[in-house]
Structure 1
Amino acid sequence: MANNPGLKSLRLGLWIAIGVLAVGTGLAALLLPRVSAEPVEAYGAGDYTLVDHDGLSVTQATFASGKPSLVFFGFTHCPEVCPTTLYEMATWLEALGPEGNDLNAFFVTVDPERDTPEMLKAYVTAPTDRVTGVTGEKAEIDKIVSAWHVHAERVALENGDYTMDHTASVFLVGPQGEFQGTIAYREASDTALGKIRNLLAKS
């Protein structure tokens, strides 16, 4: 079996495919939550105080309000991932209709330097009135990013500006703030809706 040329060829092809995928994406950290040894119930737990796009306080308790939630980390200057995900969230909420009335949805900035409450409100409410923007002082944003095990990194651009590398998955959160899984970036709509309906059913 060890000398089977067909098996060797299959293994080689698999490793080549993995290598091409890794090089081709180059931004895998953007697409998945950071791998963490923390138990799932630890996701989101922490002492942070932020504000939503209407200036209301946001803390850990906000995500344990008794309603399930979708939670996404992004920023308003994002060229593709964030606007795409925001509009997908709007599409999911519209598709759910009354079935999703008890579902909260949050867009938490990883770029508080530029994302004021006013800017976030204009951004997140453009496609839907169902998503709440969340921002705050950088030290508090750092706390919530750490609490959710999110990758967020400032990257300098050649023109002197900057962008943000960040996790691109949408978090599925239970009514008491418990982590229930993720929806991947550009995941098929039917699959995403199935995950959300499962979240609602368990809640």
Structure 2
Amino acid sequence: MAGTDRGGSLRKLRYLLWALVVVALGIVGWTQVVSPRLTQLSDTGTAALGRGDYRLQATDGSEFSQAALKGKASAVFFGFTHCPDVCPTTLGDVTGWREELGPDADKLRVFFVTVDPERDSVETLRDYVSWAPGVIGVSGSPEEVAKAVKAFRIYARKVPQEGGGYSMDHSSTMLLFDDQGEYAGLIGYREDPERAMASLRALLKG
């Protein structure tokens, strides 16, 4: 009987140790993978989002800077043209949102800012966003893009691939700004359509 009790205790201890390993792996995954991809809005606050001395070029011929966020409600999304899924999916979502907004879609500017200026020139971006009505591509020098990434609290990192190429890991949220250039919320990647539309309508009413 004592041997049976001892065996049961050992099994329980083993299960407990495995549970601790799983928890530890979860913490490591959050710290090293998930957490850096967040915009860290809760840690840094939102008042300064979009503020900085970045000066980039837009596909409509305008300059994208802090001042460009004023005058009209804006949605700002960071990505790159070689993006396999997140960016084209988001552009598709934007197209659907604009269709549902109807005439109100003209009240909203959508900026697609590259995190890969080495490959994404203004001309490349113009081509890339051409199928998504109302979306304005934004690019510039690596230095200016880095300033914008910092100003918008965006996570972006180059990921080397086999053969010498690379991809980009980046935040997937869409940041919303009112017509005064003030941060007004965000829309998550693959956000529930009803919630996304509610956020946009609230933004355009404000």
Q: Check whether TM > 0.5.
A: yes
* Contact kept in structure 1, 2:37 and 2:155, CA below 8 Å: no
Q: Which residue of 1 aligns with 2:47?
A: 41
Larger radius of gyration: 2
CA 132–116 in structure 1, closer or farther in 2 if over 3 Å, else same: same
Q: Which residue of 2 aligns with 1:150?
A: 154
CA 158–199 in structure 1, closer or farther in 2 if over 3 Å, else same: same
Q: Give SS of 1:114's match.
A: coil
Q: Which residue of 2 aligns with 1:106?
A: 111
Task: Give the counterpart of 1:79 among 73, 81, 84.
Answer: 84
| Deviation digits for residues 90-131 of structure 1 (CA, Å, limit 9, x no counterpart) | 1101110112221111000000000011110111121x2200
Deviation at residue 30 of structure 1 after TM alignment: 7.6
- Once residues 38 and 109 of structure 2 are traced to their aligned partners in structure 1, the CA distance between those partners, rounded to angstroms, is 21
Task: Give the counterpart of 1:93 among 95, 98, 101.
Answer: 98
Q: Which residue of 2 aligns with 1:53?
A: 59
Alignment length (residue pairs) = 185
Question: By percentage of residues, which structure has more helix?
Answer: 2
Could you list the structure 1 runs, at least 4 aligned residues long, displaced by more than 4 angstroms after superposition.
Answer: 16-24
The answer to whether 1:183 aligns with 2:187 is: yes
- Once residues 196 and 35 of structure 1 are traced to their aligned partners in structure 2, the CA distance between those partners, rounded to angstroms, is 19
- Once residues 53 and 37 of structure 1 are traced to their aligned partners in structure 2, the CA distance between those partners, rounded to angstroms, is 33
CA-based RMSD of the aligned residues comes to 2.4
Q: Give SS of 2:162's match.
A: coil
- Once residues 105 and 46 of structure 1 are traced to their aligned partners in structure 2, the CA distance between those partners, rounded to angstroms, is 19
What's the TM-score once normalised by structure 1's chain length? 0.83
- Once residues 67 and 18 of structure 1 are traced to their aligned partners in structure 2, the CA distance between those partners, rounded to angstroms, is 46
Q: Which residue of 2 aligns with 1:4?
A: none
| Deviation digits for residues 166-191 of structure 1 (CA, Å, limit 9, x no counterpart) | 00000111111111111111111111
Q: Which residue of 1 aligns with 2:196?
A: 192
- Once residues 68 and 17 of structure 1 are traced to their aligned partners in structure 2, the CA distance between those partners, rounded to angstroms, is 42
* Contact kept in structure 2, 1:32 and 1:184, CA below 8 Å: no
Structure with more contact order per residue of length (Cα contacts < 8 Å, sep ≥ 6): 1
Q: Give SS of 1:85's match.
A: helix
What's the TM-score once normalised by structure 2's chain length? 0.81
Where structure 1 has 5 or more consecutive residues not aligned to the other structure, the ranges are: 1-12
- Once residues 18 and 173 of structure 1 are traced to their aligned partners in structure 2, the CA distance between those partners, rounded to angstroms, is 38
CA 179–19 in structure 1, closer or farther in 2 if over 3 Å, else same: farther
CA 201–30 in structure 1, closer or farther in 2 if over 3 Å, else same: farther
